[in-house]
Amino acid sequence: MDILLSIPFLVFLPMAISIIILSPLFTSNEIIIRRFTKSVCGFHFLYSLFMLLFFNSANPYESQISFFGLDWVQSLGIKFGFQIDNISMILVVLTSFIFFIASISSKFNIRKNHKFYYSMLLLLMSAILGIFTSNDMFLFFLFWELEMIPAYFLIGTNWGNNLTLEDEENAKKSAVKFVLYTFLGSMFMLLGILLLHYYSFISSGLLSAKFSDIVLNDIPHKIQLFITVCLLIGFGVKLPIVPLHTWLPDAHTNAVTPISMVLAGILLKTGGYGIYKFNYSTMPEAFNMVTPVLAILAIINIIYIAFVTYAQKDIKRIVAYSSISNMGLVLLGLCTVNHIGLSASVFHMVSHGLVTCGLFMIAGIVYLRYKNRDINTLGGIASQMPRLYGFAVLIVLASIGVPFFAPFISEILTIIGALNSDFSEVVKYAGILALPLLIMSSCYMLKFLHNGFFGKSSVENVNDISIHEFVVLGSILAGLLLFGLCPNTILSIIG
């Protein structure tokens, strides 16, 4: 069985298929490329479920690739090593699922450059999987930087969905903004990794970049604190943490629907996972020192961005800003530094990933039919598209934390974890202040639902959702209900 459960196969299969699709020898037929990519993503999702089925938290999956019998950079103790533990196993399955539904939803959103689009989509998938499975700090950073390349092209390229010249220019600007923000954060992150690698060697005499080999005993607290801040800046850009968030609304608004689903559904989670992997697990003492500040930033994310979200008119910007607000809950869960908070943080990564994919899918369907995303001028969708309206009501209810849906569990666990935090009174107060999120999220999401779906429409003869769109929305809704009714399906894996 161990022969079939391969981390390198899981990570590099999408990259290999990406190279094949981009090859001149591969067909340029749109239908074949799309179906081939969907088949690969579907197989990958089943393979990730297969690995989850045989996953044992006491004996996590590990793998290492050597080059002619040598480590990657042997003189510096840098290895091409992978590991899948409890939390990364959950995020790997979530990644595979989101890319699968994104490949399905691409049918109506991508009109040209199919070879390039699907190859970049699969390359991005490999990069994100590499982030979640890396067991070496420098390998983690390699995949972190690799992810920028396909993301830049996916955000900034015109995929033939009838964009105006202004829309094309905005998309290119958003892609550049994304790269600049990520690259700036990466500079701080690399500095933190280099310092951590150096001082760990000074402390232990062991030259290794493997996470489990990091030794902090003799590193001065001021140095640990500086390294922690550097890493938090890098991860805070991707999470994102206010004020490092301004790239996200533009990127989401100007990207096509499947890419918006990937960006909000899984790319943001790489920031939360990085904080968990480096700060929370590897440098716990220094992380405990900064939790009060992070808890305050988490509350700013939750409350301030909720007000900003309510002021938006573009339905994609509403969903984009709501993602920033919800990522504040992920950060707050980590700040509790207890098992309940960590479970809540991971659970909310999953539940928010599903919700935001559903909301962006709905926004994309509306734009395809009406060529309009302004909720002040939209209307009448409920009467013209009753099936879409039904899905919209249920997914909006899930997003505001109604019981029986997954976000309800993660929000309640986050608040309980914060109230039980033993490290700082600030975290407890932050848990109390996070309660208004339930009310504030209801305000902007119900505004989105009421203004967009009721009233009169100026457009006639609009078709309801297709089979592809029904499958995507139905799969998302099924996941939200499954994890809301049976939360132990995730909590038991976290352990």
Q: What is the pLDDT of residues 332-353, one digit of tens each?
A: 999 998 999 999 999 999 999 9
CB 372 within 8 A of CB 433: no
- Which pLDDT does position 374 carry in this prediction? 85
Q: Any idea of the CA torsion for 392, 395, 397, 399, to the nearest 10 degrees?
A: -130
* H-run or E-run covering 41: helix 30-53
Confidence of residue 82 (pLDDT cuts 50, 70, 90): very high
Q: Which of 136, 134, 119, 137 is nearest to 7 (CA)?
A: 134
Lowest model confidence (mean pLDDT) among 40-44, 82-86, 219-223: 219-223
Looking at residue 210, the DSSP 8-state letter turns out to be B
Flag whether pLDDT at 3 surpasses 60: no
Q: How far apart are CA 15 and CA 19, in angstroms?
A: 6
In a domain, residue 75? The reply is no
- Which pLDDT does position 217 carry in this prediction? 79
One-letter amino acid of 84: I
**What number of CA atoms fall less than 13 Å from residue 94's CA on the CB side?**
35
In a domain, residue 53? The reply is no
State the CB neighbour count (10 A cutoff) for residue 420: 15
Flag whether pLDDT at 95 surpasses 80: yes
Burial 231-270 (b: 16+ CB within 10 A, else e): bbbbbbbbbbbbebbebbbbbbbbbbbbbbbbbbbbbbbb
Confidence of residue 161 (pLDDT cuts 50, 70, 90): low
In a domain, residue 369? The reply is yes
3-class SS of residue 63: strand
- Which pLDDT does position 48 carry in this prediction? 95
In a domain, residue 241? The reply is no
Domain tally, the chain? 1
Looking at residue 145, the DSSP 8-state letter turns out to be H
Q: How far apart are CA 88 and CA 130, in angstroms?
A: 10
Average pLDDT, integer, range 194-223 = 87
Looking at the DSSP bridge assignments, the partners of residue 63 are: 82
In a domain, residue 111? The reply is no
- Which pLDDT does position 163 carry in this prediction? 66
- Which pLDDT does position 297 carry in this prediction? 92
In a domain, residue 254? The reply is no
Q: How far apart are CA 41 and CA 123, in angstroms?
A: 12
Residue-number span of the structural domain to which 461 is assigned: 297-495
Cis peptide before 436 (omega within 30 of 0): no
Prediction pTM value: 0.94
Lowest model confidence (mean pLDDT) among 67-81, 238-252, 274-288, 289-303: 67-81
Report the chain's mean pLDDT, rounded to a whole number: 89
Looking at residue 67, the DSSP 8-state letter turns out to be B
CB 493 within 8 A of CB 342: no
3-class SS of residue 110: coil
In a domain, residue 82? The reply is no
Flag whether pLDDT at 2 surpasses 60: no
Q: How far apart are CA 235 and CA 73, in angstroms?
A: 25
Instruction: Summarize pLDDT for 249-299 with one digit per residue, the tens.
Output: 888 888 899 999 999 999 999 999 999 999 999 898 899 999 999 999 999
Instruction: Summarize pLDDT for 98-150 with one digit per residue, the tens.
Output: 999 999 999 888 888 899 999 999 999 999 999 999 999 999 999 999 999 99
- Which pLDDT does position 442 carry in this prediction? 81
Instruction: Summarize pLDDT for 456-495 with one digit per residue, the tens.
Output: 766 677 888 889 899 999 999 999 999 999 999 999 988 7
Average pLDDT, integer, range 173-177 = 91
In a domain, residue 375? The reply is yes
Instruction: Summarize pLDDT for 367-383 with one digit per residue, the tens.
Output: 888 888 888 888 788 88
